A and B are shown apart, each in its own frame.
Chain A
Amino acid sequence: MSFAKNLRCRECGRVYPLDPIHVCEFCFGPLEVFYDYEALRRTLTRERIERGPLSMWRYADLLPVTAEAAVDIGTGYTPLIRASQLGRLLGLERLYLKNDCQNPTWSFKDRVVSLAVTKAREFEFDTLACASTGNLANSVAAHAARAGMDAIVFIPADLEQGKIVGSSVYGPTLVAVDGSYDEVNRLCSELSDKHPWAFVNINMRPYYSEGSKTLAYEVCEQLGWRSPDHCIVPLASGSLYTKIYKGLKELAWLGLVEWRGTRMSGAQAAGCSPIVEAWERQSFDIKPQKPNTIAKSLAIGNPADGYHALKVMSQSGGQGVAVSDDEVVEGIKLLAETEGIFAETAGGVVIAGLRRLVERGLVDPQELAVAFITGAGLKTQEAVAPRLKPALAVQPNIASFENAFSEQASALPAARK
């Protein structure tokens, strides 16, 4: 059952019913789902969760929909792995990776979209919509297919063909908008007012964003019902980051884990780092930026939850870190070469950011740290392809192979030496 009680404005606290709305009518602040925590405390136990399906829907009691109604293509309960080799290289004794590459459309967006689509169907929408350059579009198109709903996906007109296929295969209406990033934003905002569509990250946003909490629940359960000491999370809109923190706090309030004061650190690419820029200025005032980075899945110049992310960073004792595009590529390669996980650019941002934090002495070598890897590398191959070692070219004889093989031994990846 769902224990969702109402929507509340994050700015002024006004209360609204659980409707398809996303901003407060008074102050235009963002709305967030609030739950009946007293009833949850009486009902929810570790055992009840453990009896649930091996997916994000085992935490349905903590989401604003019911599990029976779920539009699910197998999202969640992704691996949490101990990263011994990467940890040793970075000087961390207890480093874990939450590998959300293993979702149905290969990114964490399946969590938020699965929830948004379930809620959209409950509200009797027949069309899903989103504006995206990649992961979100893939997930919306896939879930719409599963739900038997129409999908309209807005993409920039100059988007690479490879990224279009990952959405178009599911049969949505793709709309290529010939305009700047800001113009696409404005158009979609206006369309969401005009058409009766479930725009997953606009009018469905209060429900959509709650899906990210399941990452926190899973990590705690997979650690044996224990919160991490430190989380390192990629920052785009700031929603994922703030919702992971909300998830950790909820489990502690409900007595399912002990509150450990988890420190929340966030990483961005320097080419689009409005949250980290404000953090370094020691300000809660976000200055919007024009994105210019290879980490396109994090390239949000005017982050909706930037202010709230800065609050979490400050309250939790975390850090904000920005890394160059070169470091992003190094981060992707380091993760792949040490732990066998090929992440997209957001994963490179997290690993490179973690390395920077360790170098600055901002991560305790003994603490239990979890790095969130939110999307798979096959989606952004162009970011690393030019930096990879070419194959050995040999003639079909033993001598040629032995010669080439011995030459390349000196060029082994740094992480393996």
Chain B
Amino acid sequence: MAKQRVKFTFAQEMIKEPVIWRLGRDFNLVTNIRRADVTEDRGWVVLELEGEMEEIERGVQWVVEQGVRVDPVAGDIVEG
């Protein structure tokens, strides 16, 4: 089993979507939320995903396709 720590940032139109629940159901991932801040117009969630590496990659790709921004928990790593 592999683990990945990620930050999801949701735009307003995505806030009502049960994205994290579907990650668990459709990709068989254990989702473990560590920090979050959700307001009426946007939200972010820092969480750990645990499961088969291939499923984590497929799941993250699916989340990106839904319009959710996915980042490493440490922020952007590519520096000038």
**Interface membership of A212, Cβ < 8 A:** no
Q: Which of B6-52 contact A (CB under 8 A)?
A: 9, 34-35, 37, 39, 42, 46, 48
**Interface membership of B65, Cβ < 8 A:** no
Interface of B (DSSP majority class): strand
Kindly list chain B residues whose C-beta atoms are within 8 Å of the C-beta of A23: 5, 73-74
Kindly list chain A residues whose C-beta atoms are within 8 Å of the C-beta of B78: 131-133, 154, 156, 181, 184-185, 188, 300
Q: For chain A, which range describes its interface: under 10, 10 to 19, 20 to 34, or 35 or more residues?
A: 35 or more
Kindly list chain A residues whose C-beta atoms are within 8 Å of the C-beta of B34: 26-28
> Considering only CB atoms, which chain A residue lies closest to B9 in the complex?
A288
Q: How far is the CB of B23 from chain A (nearest CB, A)?
A: 16
> Considering only CB atoms, which chain B residue lies closest to A177 in the complex?
B78
A109–B70 CA distance with the chains assembled, in angstroms: 27
- Contacts A28-B46, A29-B35, A287-B42 given: A237-B71 contact, CB under 8 Å? no
Kindly list chain B residues whose C-beta atoms are within 8 Å of the C-beta of A210: none
Whether the pair B74, A304 counts as a contact (CB closer than 8 A) is yes
Q: How far is the CB of A142 from chain B (nearest CB, A)?
A: 15
> Considering only CB atoms, which chain B residue lies closest to A300 in the complex?
B76
Interface residue stretch chosen among A55-63, A83-91, A291-299: A291-299
* Other-chain residue from A134, A188, A297, A306 in contact with B77 (beta carbon distance below 8 A): A188
Most buried by B among A22, A30, A199, A302: A302
Interface size on B, residues (CB 8 A): 23
A248–B16 CA distance with the chains assembled, in angstroms: 44
Q: How far is the CB of B80 from chain A (nearest CB, A)?
A: 3
* Other-chain residue from A22, A26, A131, A288 in contact with B71 (beta carbon distance below 8 A): A288
Whether the pair A185, B39 counts as a contact (CB closer than 8 A) is no
Whether the pair B42, A302 counts as a contact (CB closer than 8 A) is no
Interface of A (DSSP majority class): mixed
Kindly list chain A residues whose C-beta atoms are within 8 Å of the C-beta of B76: 185, 237, 300-304
Kindly list chain B residues whose C-beta atoms are within 8 Å of the C-beta of A130: 79
> Considering only CB atoms, which chain A residue lies closest to B70 in the complex?
A186
> Considering only CB atoms, which chain B residue lies closest to A22 in the complex?
B74
Q: How far is the CB of B74 from chain A (nearest CB, A)?
A: 6
> Considering only CB atoms, which chain A residue lies closest to B37 in the complex?
A285
**Interface membership of A236, Cβ < 8 A:** yes
**Interface membership of A124, Cβ < 8 A:** no
Q: How far is the CB of A29 from chain B (nearest CB, A)?
A: 7
Q: How far is the CB of B8 from chain A (nearest CB, A)?
A: 11
Whether the pair B35, A136 counts as a contact (CB closer than 8 A) is no
> Considering only CB atoms, which chain B residue lies closest to A380 in the complex?
B80
Whether the pair A305, B75 counts as a contact (CB closer than 8 A) is yes
Kindly list chain A residues whose C-beta atoms are within 8 Å of the C-beta of B35: 11, 27-29
> Considering only CB atoms, which chain B residue lies closest to A234 in the complex?
B80
Kindly list chain B residues whose C-beta atoms are within 8 Å of the C-beta of A287: 9, 42
* Other-chain residue from B9, B42, B77 in contact with A185 (beta carbon distance below 8 A): B77
Q: Which of A233-292 contact B (CB under 8 A)?
A: 236-237, 285, 287-288
Q: Mark B46-63, 1 if CB is under 8 A from A, else 0.
A: 101000000000001000
Between A and B, 25 residue pairs with Cβ closer than 8 Å are: A11-B35, A27-B35, A28-B34, A28-B46, A28-B48, A109-B79, A131-B78, A131-B79, A135-B79, A136-B79, A136-B80, A185-B72, A186-B71, A188-B78, A189-B74, A193-B4, A199-B77, A236-B80, A285-B37, A296-B80, A300-B76, A300-B78, A300-B80, A304-B76, A305-B75
Q: Besides A182-B70, A296-B80, 17 other CB < 8 A contacts? A: A28-B35, A131-B77, A131-B78, A132-B79, A154-B78, A185-B71, A185-B78, A186-B70, A186-B71, A186-B72, A189-B72, A192-B77, A201-B77, A297-B80, A300-B75, A302-B75, A305-B75
B residues bordering A, Cβ < 8 Å?
4-5, 9, 34-35, 37, 39, 42, 46, 48, 60, 69-80
